[in-house]
Amino acid sequence: MTIASDQLRSALADLNGQRRVRLHFENGPSCDIENALLVPAEADNLLKLTDGSREYLVDTGRIAWIEIGEQLAQN
């Protein structure tokens, strides 16, 4: 199953900087984003997440599954 960019944007729309997202990619490593926020749609039409200091471009065609959880524990 391939997740379309607009479907993923809809699923991630409620991110408010208070949760962690773990993206699991097919045939690749996972990516953890703490305090994740969805970047509003821009002219480039790319799906982007941010943690406030970096932006992550998401290749929606390679995502196997996504975990949305609470913030990672602070040490």
> Which residues form the domain of 17?
5-70
The pLDDT of residue 4 is 83
**Residue 75 predicted with pLDDT over 50:** no
CATH code of the domain containing 34: 2.30.30
DSSP assignment, residue 29? Answer: -
Question: Other C-beta atoms within 10 Å of 12: how many?
Answer: 19
Give the number of domains in the chain. Answer: 1
| 40, part of any domain | yes
| 28, part of any domain | yes
Q: In what order do the strands lie in the sheet with 19-25?
A: 30-33, 19-25, 63-70
The pLDDT of residue 1 is 65
The pLDDT of residue 71 is 65
pLDDT in tens, 19-67: 999 999 988 899 999 999 999 999 998 999 999 999 999 988 889 899 9
AA identity, residue 27: N
Q: Which two tokens stand for residue 43?
A: 């002219």
**C-alpha to C-alpha distance for 46 and 31, rounded to whole angstroms:** 17
| Whole-structure pTM value | 0.84
| 75, part of any domain | no
Radius of gyration of the chain (CA): 12
| 50, part of any domain | yes
